[in-house]
Amino acid sequence: MSYPTTPDALTTDWLSDALGQPVTDFSIERFGEGVGVVGQVVRLHLTGTAAPATIIAKFPSPAPENRAVAATYDMYGREVRFYQSLADSVGVRAPACYFAAHDPATEDFVLLLEDLAGYRLGDQVAGASVEDARRVVDAIARLHGETWEDTERLGLRSHNNPAQRDGMIAGFDLGWPVVLERFGELVPANARSAGTRMGRSTAGLLEEMCRGPVCLSHADVRLDNLFFGDDEVLFVDWQSICSSAPEMDLAYFLTQSLTPAVRRSEDFCARYFEALRAHVPSYDRSEFERRYRVSALYLLNYAVVIAGTLDLGNERGVALAQALIERSMTALDELDAFALLSS
């Protein structure tokens, strides 16, 4: 079945075929700032006897540089495959998927997903509240516990792969001077010198993270990808799903989606570890603490690539980049994680 690759290419005939329900008319609602960095996301209002009233449609990014990043990491393909075969078996809820298709030759794709308008979307620029942070930490632990050492059966490739390694090294080297120029006042002195060594250390950090034990990693657990209901947290944007250390998701969320004040308000690492131990009683605390520190340092690559190489597009994108750099630098300084670069 052929499929549209932009919102403007949608038709009632194609939507009817994709949904398996007649659609007689539709309108496109385009979101405001900050929605869809490496993809284009719109809400569709549908008219039809049995079709959903609204759905979410995702397409490739119209920005060539952002689409290139997605292609480097197979982000579109990974998300489509997740919805096609894994979404119902990972221990946390994702939106229902009505249609998913991807062409690896062109990197065109389309997803039709459940509209989560009735849920509250997180805001990474604002940061998580203490209560929301607790709920997300518990959900991450459940995701990891349900998929512990099961990544081969799930068909996941390791986060430690040549494309990821080389892309992070190149992205950091390209983005670091831009970060220093745009957000230099947020970078402490010890991080400035560490930045010149980060690219050379990335391969070793990746190897240590992915040596095992590993589980399914969402690999993009940040507030802009989380929806909150009365009694559940829903994860969206499964574009980075992989096999990796459990600490990777936790470190990304705690060091880049929480303000320093919220992160310091309680021991979220201890909360996660106890929740994970309900699934994996044998996991060693010292191993957990070591890999958390390694993961947090590695994930500085994410902040630098986003802040220094992507088309941020608008004021909120700039504010997001600033938040990522400030929070990650503060957290890494408190963990003394930059010392790992010399070891």
- Phi then psi dihedrals of residue 250, to 5 deg: -65, -50
Q: What pLDDT digit, counting tens, does each position of 165-224 carry?
A: 998 999 899 999 999 999 999 998 888 887 788 888 999 999 999 998 999 999 999 999
Name the one residue in this structure whose structure tokens are 């996301």. 41
Rounded Cα distance between 58 and 296, Å, is 30
pLDDT at 1: 64
pLDDT at 150: 93
Rounded Cα distance between 225 and 252, Å, is 12
pLDDT at 66: 82
Residue numbers in the chain where pLDDT is lower than 50: 34
- Phi then psi dihedrals of residue 202, to 5 deg: -60, -40
The token pair that represents 117 in the structure block:
């308008």
Ramachandran assignment for 74, one of left (phi > 0), alpha (psi -120 to 50 degrees), beta (any other):
left
Whole-angstrom CA distances from 87 to 118, 236, 289 are 20, 11, 29
CB 69 within 8 A of CB 309: yes
pLDDT at 64: 87
pLDDT at 190: 85
The token pair that represents 114 in the structure block:
């459940």
The token pair that represents 12 in the structure block:
């009632």
Mapped to the 3 state alphabet, what secondary structure does 68-128 carry? HHHHHCCHHHHHHHHHHHCHHHCCCECCCEEEEEEECCCCEEEEEEECCCCCEECCCCCCC
pLDDT at 25: 97
59 forms beta bridges with 40
pLDDT at 210: 96
Query: 267, 152, 165: which is closest to 206 by C-alpha?
Result: 165
